[in-house]
Amino acid sequence: MAETKRGGETGVRCVITTPESTVLDTRAEFISVPLFDGQRGIGRGHAPFVGRLGVGEVRITGEQGGAAGGLRRTFIEGGFVEVGHDEVTIITQRSIPAEKLDAAAARSDLEKLKAAPSRGDEAITARMRSEEAARALLRAAERKG
């Protein structure tokens, strides 16, 4: 079932929505999303699931209308992924296309976070989480260069 064409359409539909707008709606061969515990690949015919996302990159391979073997990378910060019938919906609060990432700004943000003091269990957990997000952003930004 997974390999057959349905309604003349191939690949998987991928939608990325943020509270402000739908930033991406495309069809692609393969999509890799950053789940809370690591990257997960989704191809055609994947079983439906809903997953919590971590911080990292969505990699979209073989986008239709794009260059052959092209790879589109988008940085996202948390949210959810819903995999339905050959449709991947990524719901996130923040999404930045890889081209717009700024490694220098990401690095200075991380330094600032590291320098800021935090007291109490909750503050430390929150700080660790934001530091992790800043590191992931920096990693994604550096990969671009």
Q: Which residues contribute to the site for another protein (CB under 8 A)?
A: 1, 6, 17-22, 35-37, 47-52, 78-80, 82, 84-85, 89, 91, 93
CB of 24 to another protein, least distance (A): 12
**CB of residue 19 vs another protein: minimum separation in angstroms?**
4
Q: Which is nearer to another protein, 25 or 111 (CB)?
A: 25
State which residue, 39 or 70, has the beta carbon closest to another protein. Answer: 39
CB of 111 to another protein, least distance (A): 21
DSSP the chain: --SS-BTTB-SEEEEEE-SS-EEEEEEESEEEEEETTEEEEE-TTPPPEEEEEEEEEEEEES-TTS-TT-EEEEEEEEEEEEE-SSEEEEE-S-EEEGGG--HHHHHHHHHHHHHS---SHHHHHHHHHHHHHHHHHHHHHHHH-
Residue number with CB closer to another protein (64 or 123): 123
